[in-house]
Amino acid sequence: MKKNTKLYETVAALLSPGKGILAADESDPTAGKRLAMVHLPNKPENRQDFREILFTAPDIEKYLSGVIMYDSSIRNTTDDGTPFPDVLTAKGIVPGIKVDLGTSELQGFKGEVVTQGLDNLTDRFEEYYDMGARFAKWRAVITIDEDKTPTDEAIKINSIMLARYAQIAQTSSIVPIVEPEVIHAGDHSIQRAELVTTRTLQILFQTLMEYKVDLAGLILKSSMVLAGDVYSEQSSPEEVANATLRTFHMSVPYECAGIVFLSGGQTPERSTKNLNAIGKMGEQPWPITFSFSRAIEEPVLKAWEGKKENEGKAKEVLLEVSKQNSLASLGKL
Ligand code: 13P
Protein backbone atom coordinates (compact mmCIF):
# COMPACT_ATOMS: atom_id res chain seq x y z
CA MET A 1 0.00 0.00 0.00
CA LYS A 2 1.16 3.58 -0.68
CA LYS A 3 2.92 5.11 2.37
CA ASN A 4 0.88 7.79 4.08
CA THR A 5 3.05 10.14 6.15
CA LYS A 6 0.06 11.52 8.08
CA LEU A 7 -0.16 8.11 9.74
CA TYR A 8 3.40 8.35 11.06
CA GLU A 9 2.77 11.78 12.61
CA THR A 10 -0.22 10.36 14.48
CA VAL A 11 1.72 7.27 15.54
CA ALA A 12 4.57 9.45 16.87
CA ALA A 13 2.10 11.58 18.86
CA LEU A 14 0.31 8.55 20.29
CA LEU A 15 3.50 6.78 21.30
CA SER A 16 5.38 9.72 22.90
CA PRO A 17 7.48 8.25 25.72
CA GLY A 18 5.75 8.30 29.11
CA LYS A 19 2.27 8.69 27.65
CA GLY A 20 -0.56 6.22 27.10
CA ILE A 21 -4.06 6.01 25.70
CA LEU A 22 -7.33 6.11 27.64
CA ALA A 23 -9.93 3.72 26.22
CA ALA A 24 -13.18 5.51 27.02
CA ASP A 25 -14.93 3.75 24.17
CA GLU A 26 -17.55 1.64 25.90
CA SER A 27 -20.68 1.06 23.89
CA ASP A 28 -23.78 2.50 25.59
CA PRO A 29 -24.73 -0.85 27.20
CA THR A 30 -21.16 -1.42 28.46
CA ALA A 31 -21.01 2.14 29.81
CA GLY A 32 -24.11 1.15 31.79
CA LYS A 33 -22.15 -1.67 33.44
CA ARG A 34 -19.47 0.80 34.54
CA LEU A 35 -22.05 3.24 35.94
CA ALA A 36 -23.78 0.38 37.78
CA MET A 37 -20.58 -0.10 39.81
CA VAL A 38 -21.46 3.12 41.61
CA HIS A 39 -25.22 2.50 41.44
CA LEU A 40 -25.94 5.05 38.74
CA PRO A 41 -28.60 4.43 36.08
CA ASN A 42 -27.45 4.11 32.47
CA LYS A 43 -28.83 7.47 31.32
CA PRO A 44 -27.26 9.61 28.55
CA GLU A 45 -26.74 12.46 31.09
CA ASN A 46 -24.70 10.19 33.38
CA ARG A 47 -22.60 8.93 30.48
CA GLN A 48 -22.01 12.50 29.34
CA ASP A 49 -21.13 13.75 32.85
CA PHE A 50 -18.62 10.96 33.35
CA ARG A 51 -16.96 11.52 29.99
CA GLU A 52 -16.85 15.26 30.60
CA ILE A 53 -14.97 14.62 33.85
CA LEU A 54 -12.51 12.37 32.01
CA PHE A 55 -11.90 14.66 29.06
CA THR A 56 -11.73 18.00 30.89
CA ALA A 57 -9.50 16.93 33.79
CA PRO A 58 -6.62 19.45 34.03
CA ASP A 59 -3.12 18.35 32.98
CA ILE A 60 -4.02 14.84 31.80
CA GLU A 61 -2.26 15.64 28.52
CA LYS A 62 1.02 15.20 30.42
CA TYR A 63 0.29 11.47 30.62
CA LEU A 64 -2.37 10.73 27.99
CA SER A 65 -1.56 10.98 24.28
CA GLY A 66 -4.91 9.75 23.00
CA VAL A 67 -8.47 8.95 24.01
CA ILE A 68 -10.64 6.37 22.25
CA MET A 69 -14.33 7.27 22.03
CA TYR A 70 -17.50 5.49 20.93
CA ASP A 71 -19.88 6.67 18.21
CA SER A 72 -22.28 8.31 20.66
CA SER A 73 -19.51 10.05 22.63
CA ILE A 74 -17.57 11.42 19.65
CA ARG A 75 -20.87 13.16 18.73
CA ASN A 76 -21.37 14.40 22.29
CA THR A 77 -20.40 17.75 23.83
CA THR A 78 -19.52 19.26 27.19
CA ASP A 79 -22.27 21.11 29.07
CA ASP A 80 -21.16 24.34 27.38
CA GLY A 81 -21.58 22.77 23.94
CA THR A 82 -17.94 22.06 22.96
CA PRO A 83 -17.69 18.78 21.02
CA PHE A 84 -15.68 16.19 22.96
CA PRO A 85 -13.12 15.68 20.14
CA ASP A 86 -12.46 19.46 20.12
CA VAL A 87 -11.86 19.44 23.90
CA LEU A 88 -9.24 16.72 23.44
CA THR A 89 -7.60 18.24 20.37
CA ALA A 90 -7.27 21.60 22.17
CA LYS A 91 -5.27 19.81 24.89
CA GLY A 92 -3.01 18.12 22.33
CA ILE A 93 -4.66 14.73 22.94
CA VAL A 94 -5.41 12.75 19.78
CA PRO A 95 -9.10 11.74 19.46
CA GLY A 96 -9.76 8.12 18.49
CA ILE A 97 -12.84 6.09 17.65
CA LYS A 98 -13.88 2.48 18.21
CA VAL A 99 -15.36 1.33 14.90
CA ASP A 100 -16.14 -2.34 15.34
CA LEU A 101 -19.76 -3.19 16.01
CA GLY A 102 -19.22 -6.06 18.46
CA THR A 103 -19.13 -9.78 17.90
CA SER A 104 -21.46 -12.43 16.57
CA GLU A 105 -21.41 -16.22 16.75
CA LEU A 106 -19.01 -18.03 14.41
CA GLN A 107 -21.28 -20.80 13.22
CA GLY A 108 -19.77 -24.28 13.51
CA PHE A 109 -17.22 -23.15 16.12
CA LYS A 110 -18.77 -23.56 19.56
CA GLY A 111 -18.24 -20.53 21.78
CA GLU A 112 -16.11 -18.64 19.24
CA VAL A 113 -17.04 -15.28 17.74
CA VAL A 114 -16.19 -12.99 14.86
CA THR A 115 -16.23 -9.19 15.03
CA GLN A 116 -18.60 -7.22 12.78
CA GLY A 117 -18.45 -3.70 11.33
CA LEU A 118 -16.85 -3.54 7.89
CA ASP A 119 -19.97 -2.25 6.08
CA ASN A 120 -19.71 1.41 5.03
CA LEU A 121 -16.44 1.74 6.92
CA THR A 122 -14.91 4.13 4.37
CA ASP A 123 -17.85 6.53 4.77
CA ARG A 124 -17.78 6.19 8.56
CA PHE A 125 -14.06 6.98 8.63
CA GLU A 126 -14.59 10.04 6.46
CA GLU A 127 -17.18 11.38 8.91
CA TYR A 128 -15.07 10.55 11.98
CA TYR A 129 -12.01 12.18 10.38
CA ASP A 130 -14.03 15.36 9.85
CA MET A 131 -14.97 15.26 13.53
CA GLY A 132 -11.26 15.11 14.47
CA ALA A 133 -10.54 11.39 14.87
CA ARG A 134 -7.03 10.39 13.78
CA PHE A 135 -6.90 6.81 15.05
CA ALA A 136 -9.31 3.93 15.51
CA LYS A 137 -9.75 0.64 17.31
CA TRP A 138 -11.21 -2.71 16.29
CA ARG A 139 -11.46 -5.46 18.92
CA ALA A 140 -11.49 -9.16 18.15
CA VAL A 141 -12.25 -11.60 20.95
CA ILE A 142 -10.21 -14.77 21.43
CA THR A 143 -11.36 -17.04 24.25
CA ILE A 144 -9.27 -19.80 25.80
CA ASP A 145 -11.24 -22.93 26.60
CA GLU A 146 -10.58 -26.70 26.52
CA ASP A 147 -7.78 -27.96 24.28
CA LYS A 148 -9.13 -26.87 20.89
CA THR A 149 -10.28 -23.32 21.61
CA PRO A 150 -9.31 -20.98 20.09
CA THR A 151 -9.24 -22.66 16.69
CA ASP A 152 -6.92 -21.41 13.97
CA GLU A 153 -10.03 -20.84 11.83
CA ALA A 154 -11.50 -18.40 14.36
CA ILE A 155 -8.18 -16.59 14.73
CA LYS A 156 -7.78 -16.40 10.94
CA ILE A 157 -11.20 -14.98 10.16
CA ASN A 158 -10.80 -12.37 12.90
CA SER A 159 -7.35 -11.53 11.53
CA ILE A 160 -8.80 -11.04 8.05
CA MET A 161 -11.44 -8.68 9.47
CA LEU A 162 -8.70 -6.78 11.34
CA ALA A 163 -6.58 -6.59 8.18
CA ARG A 164 -9.48 -5.28 6.08
CA TYR A 165 -10.33 -2.70 8.75
CA ALA A 166 -6.67 -1.67 8.94
CA GLN A 167 -6.44 -1.25 5.15
CA ILE A 168 -9.52 0.99 5.08
CA ALA A 169 -8.33 2.99 8.10
CA GLN A 170 -4.91 3.66 6.56
CA THR A 171 -6.45 4.69 3.25
CA SER A 172 -8.58 7.16 5.27
CA SER A 173 -5.45 8.62 7.03
CA ILE A 174 -6.53 7.03 10.31
CA VAL A 175 -4.08 4.94 12.35
CA PRO A 176 -5.56 1.53 13.06
CA ILE A 177 -5.17 -0.05 16.48
CA VAL A 178 -5.64 -3.79 15.99
CA GLU A 179 -6.84 -5.49 19.17
CA PRO A 180 -7.04 -9.26 19.35
CA GLU A 181 -8.06 -9.52 23.01
CA VAL A 182 -7.13 -12.90 24.48
CA ILE A 183 -9.67 -13.09 27.28
CA HIS A 184 -8.28 -13.19 30.84
CA ALA A 185 -11.37 -14.88 32.33
CA GLY A 186 -10.92 -18.63 32.69
CA ASP A 187 -8.95 -21.35 34.45
CA HIS A 188 -6.03 -21.63 32.03
CA SER A 189 -2.37 -21.51 33.05
CA ILE A 190 0.04 -18.74 32.05
CA GLN A 191 1.77 -21.27 29.77
CA ARG A 192 -1.48 -21.85 27.88
CA ALA A 193 -2.09 -18.08 27.66
CA GLU A 194 1.39 -17.65 26.21
CA LEU A 195 0.89 -20.33 23.56
CA VAL A 196 -2.51 -18.93 22.55
CA THR A 197 -1.37 -15.31 22.47
CA THR A 198 1.74 -16.18 20.44
CA ARG A 199 -0.32 -18.18 17.93
CA THR A 200 -2.91 -15.41 17.70
CA LEU A 201 -0.35 -12.69 17.06
CA GLN A 202 1.57 -14.83 14.57
CA ILE A 203 -1.57 -15.46 12.52
CA LEU A 204 -2.59 -11.80 12.85
CA PHE A 205 0.71 -10.36 11.62
CA GLN A 206 1.02 -12.96 8.87
CA THR A 207 -2.45 -11.86 7.68
CA LEU A 208 -1.71 -8.13 8.00
CA MET A 209 1.36 -8.65 5.80
CA GLU A 210 -0.57 -10.77 3.27
CA TYR A 211 -3.04 -7.88 2.92
CA LYS A 212 -0.21 -5.33 2.60
CA VAL A 213 -1.10 -3.30 5.68
CA ASP A 214 1.65 -0.77 6.51
CA LEU A 215 2.90 -2.03 9.89
CA ALA A 216 4.78 1.24 10.54
CA GLY A 217 1.39 2.99 10.57
CA LEU A 218 -0.34 0.50 12.86
CA ILE A 219 -0.45 -0.10 16.63
CA LEU A 220 -1.08 -3.47 18.29
CA LYS A 221 -3.34 -3.53 21.34
CA SER A 222 -2.64 -6.70 23.27
CA SER A 223 -3.58 -8.51 26.42
CA MET A 224 -0.80 -9.09 28.92
CA VAL A 225 0.10 -12.78 29.09
CA LEU A 226 -1.12 -14.11 32.45
CA ALA A 227 -2.95 -17.07 33.95
CA GLY A 228 -6.76 -17.08 33.78
CA ASP A 229 -8.53 -15.17 36.55
CA VAL A 230 -9.73 -18.31 38.34
CA TYR A 231 -6.64 -20.44 37.78
CA SER A 232 -5.12 -21.85 41.00
CA GLU A 233 -1.73 -20.20 40.57
CA GLN A 234 -1.74 -16.48 39.79
CA SER A 235 1.18 -14.99 37.85
CA SER A 236 3.67 -12.58 39.45
CA PRO A 237 4.53 -9.31 37.65
CA GLU A 238 7.95 -10.75 36.69
CA GLU A 239 6.33 -13.87 35.19
CA VAL A 240 3.84 -11.71 33.30
CA ALA A 241 6.63 -9.49 31.99
CA ASN A 242 8.75 -12.43 30.83
CA ALA A 243 5.89 -14.31 29.19
CA THR A 244 4.47 -11.19 27.54
CA LEU A 245 7.76 -10.01 26.06
CA ARG A 246 8.70 -13.54 24.95
CA THR A 247 5.36 -13.67 23.14
CA PHE A 248 5.94 -10.34 21.38
CA HIS A 249 9.46 -11.31 20.32
CA MET A 250 8.05 -14.51 18.80
CA SER A 251 5.28 -12.81 16.87
CA VAL A 252 5.39 -9.03 16.39
CA PRO A 253 7.51 -7.74 13.47
CA TYR A 254 9.88 -4.94 14.39
CA GLU A 255 8.20 -2.70 11.79
CA CYS A 256 5.04 -2.55 13.94
CA ALA A 257 4.85 1.04 15.26
CA GLY A 258 4.12 0.13 18.86
CA ILE A 259 2.22 -1.97 21.37
CA VAL A 260 -0.37 -0.84 23.93
CA PHE A 261 -2.04 -2.93 26.62
CA LEU A 262 -5.63 -3.43 27.63
CA SER A 263 -6.20 -4.16 31.33
CA GLY A 264 -8.61 -7.03 30.71
CA GLY A 265 -10.41 -7.04 34.05
CA GLN A 266 -7.28 -7.05 36.23
CA THR A 267 -7.51 -4.67 39.17
CA PRO A 268 -6.12 -1.18 38.52
CA GLU A 269 -3.23 -1.87 40.93
CA ARG A 270 -2.29 -5.16 39.29
CA SER A 271 -2.48 -3.71 35.78
CA THR A 272 -0.07 -0.95 36.79
CA LYS A 273 2.33 -3.34 38.59
CA ASN A 274 2.44 -5.67 35.59
CA LEU A 275 3.03 -2.75 33.23
CA ASN A 276 5.85 -1.55 35.48
CA ALA A 277 7.49 -5.00 35.44
CA ILE A 278 7.34 -4.93 31.64
CA GLY A 279 8.79 -1.39 31.60
CA LYS A 280 11.63 -2.55 33.87
CA MET A 281 12.72 -5.11 31.27
CA GLY A 282 14.26 -2.18 29.38
CA GLU A 283 14.10 -0.96 25.83
CA GLN A 284 12.30 -3.18 23.30
CA PRO A 285 12.06 -3.01 19.49
CA TRP A 286 8.68 -1.27 19.85
CA PRO A 287 7.44 1.51 22.15
CA ILE A 288 5.16 -0.19 24.73
CA THR A 289 2.56 1.60 26.87
CA PHE A 290 -0.96 1.37 28.27
CA SER A 291 -4.40 1.75 26.72
CA PHE A 292 -6.53 0.83 29.72
CA SER A 293 -10.22 1.34 30.18
CA ARG A 294 -11.41 -0.27 33.42
CA ALA A 295 -8.02 0.06 35.17
CA ILE A 296 -8.17 3.84 34.70
CA GLU A 297 -11.90 4.51 34.88
CA GLU A 298 -12.80 2.45 37.96
CA PRO A 299 -10.95 4.59 40.53
CA VAL A 300 -12.31 7.75 38.87
CA LEU A 301 -15.88 6.45 39.00
CA LYS A 302 -15.49 5.50 42.65
CA ALA A 303 -14.22 9.00 43.48
CA TRP A 304 -17.09 10.62 41.57
CA GLU A 305 -20.12 8.46 42.55
CA GLY A 306 -22.30 10.66 40.34
CA LYS A 307 -22.04 13.66 42.70
CA LYS A 308 -21.37 17.18 41.46
CA GLU A 309 -19.31 18.00 44.56
CA ASN A 310 -16.96 15.06 43.81
CA GLU A 311 -16.08 16.12 40.26
CA GLY A 312 -12.87 17.93 41.21
CA LYS A 313 -11.68 14.96 43.27
CA ALA A 314 -12.52 12.55 40.44
CA LYS A 315 -10.42 14.63 38.02
CA GLU A 316 -7.49 14.56 40.47
CA VAL A 317 -7.80 10.77 40.71
CA LEU A 318 -7.68 10.50 36.91
CA LEU A 319 -4.52 12.61 36.84
CA GLU A 320 -2.89 10.49 39.55
CA VAL A 321 -3.82 7.12 37.98
CA SER A 322 -2.60 8.34 34.59
CA LYS A 323 0.66 9.49 36.16
CA GLN A 324 1.21 6.13 37.88
CA ASN A 325 0.64 4.31 34.59
CA SER A 326 2.92 6.74 32.80
CA LEU A 327 5.71 5.96 35.32
CA ALA A 328 4.94 2.24 35.03
CA SER A 329 5.25 2.37 31.23
CA LEU A 330 8.81 3.60 31.81
CA GLY A 331 9.46 0.99 34.54
CA LYS A 332 9.92 3.80 37.05
CA LEU A 333 7.57 2.80 39.87
P1 13P B 1 -9.90 -2.80 29.52
O2 13P B 1 -8.65 -2.04 29.87
O3 13P B 1 -11.03 -2.56 30.46
O4 13P B 1 -9.63 -4.26 29.27
O5 13P B 1 -10.41 -2.22 28.15
C6 13P B 1 -9.53 -1.92 27.15
C7 13P B 1 -10.19 -2.03 25.84
O8 13P B 1 -10.08 -1.13 25.05
C9 13P B 1 -10.95 -3.25 25.55
O10 13P B 1 -11.37 -3.24 24.23
Average pLDDT of the chain, as a whole number:
97
CA of 281 to the centre of ligand 1 (A): 23
Nearest residue by C-alpha to atom 4 in ligand 1: 264
For 273-293, write each residue's pLDDT tens digit.
999 999 999 999 999 999 999
Strand order in the sheet with 288-290: 20-23, 64-69, 94-98, 135-142, 175-182, 219-222, 258-261, 288-290
| Separation between Cα atoms, residue 78 and residue 74, nearest integer Å | 11
Output the CA–CA distances (angstroms, integers) from residue 78 to 74, 236, 257, in the order listed: 11, 41, 33
Q: What percent of the chain has pLDDT over 70?
A: 99
Residue 68 pLDDT more than 80? yes
The CA 139 to ligand 1 mean position distance, Å, reads 9
Which ranges of 146-288 would DSSP assign to H, the alpha helix? 152-171, 190-210, 237-251, 268-280
Secondary structure element (H or E) that encloses residue 302, with its range: helix 294-304
- Number of the ligand 1 atom closest to the C-alpha atom of 263: 2
Among protein residues, the one with the nearest Cα to ligand 1's atom 5 is 293
Q: Calculate what percentage of the chain has a pLDDT beyond 90.
A: 98
pLDDT at 193 over 90: yes
pLDDT digits over 41-57, tens only?
999 999 999 999 999 99
Map residue 64 onto helix, strand or coil: strand
In the chain, where are the structural domains located?
5-329
State the catalytic residue, choosing from 221, 273, 297, 311: 221
179, 297, 298, 311: which one is catalytic? 179
Ligand 1 atom with the smallest distance to the CA of 25 is: 8
The 10s digit of each residue's pLDDT in 110-119 is 999 999 999 9
List the residue whose alpha carbon is closest to atom 7 of ligand 1. 262
Ligand 1 midpoint to CA 171 (Å) = 26
Cα 60 from Cα 242, distance rounded (Å):
30
Q: What is the pLDDT of residues 252-275, one digit of tens each?
A: 999 999 999 999 999 999 999 999
Q: Whose CA is nearest to atom 8 of ligand 1?
A: 23
* Residue 313 amino acid letter: K
CATH topology of domain 5-329: TIM Barrel (3.20.20)
Residue 2 CA to ligand 1 center (angstroms) comes to 31
Instruction: State residue 174's pLDDT score.
Output: 98
Ligand 1, CB within 6 Å, residue ranges = 23, 139, 179, 181, 262-264, 292-295
Given this model, what pLDDT does residue 4 score? 86
User: How do residues 289-327 score in pLDDT, each as one tens digit?
Assistant: 999 999 999 999 999 999 999 999 999 999 999 999 999
Distance 289 CA to ligand 1 centre (A): 13
> Which has more pLDDT, 3 or 206?
206
The pLDDT of residue 147 is: 81
Contact 36, 42 (CB under 8 A): yes
Position 2 scores a pLDDT of 64
Confidence of residue 1 (pLDDT cuts 50, 70, 90): low
DSSP 8-state secondary structure symbol assigned to residue 234:
P
**pLDDT tier, 165 (very low <50, low <70, confident <90, very high otherwise):** very high
92-130 pLDDT tens trace: 999 999 999 999 999 999 999 999 999 999 999 999 999
Return the residue whose CA atom lies nearest to atom 9 of ligand 1: 262
pLDDT of residue 3: 78
Whether the model clears a pTM of 0.75, i.e. scores above it, the answer is yes
Is 221 noted as a catalytic residue in this protein? yes
Distances (CA, A) of 305 to 37, 44, 220, 245, 320: 9, 16, 33, 37, 18
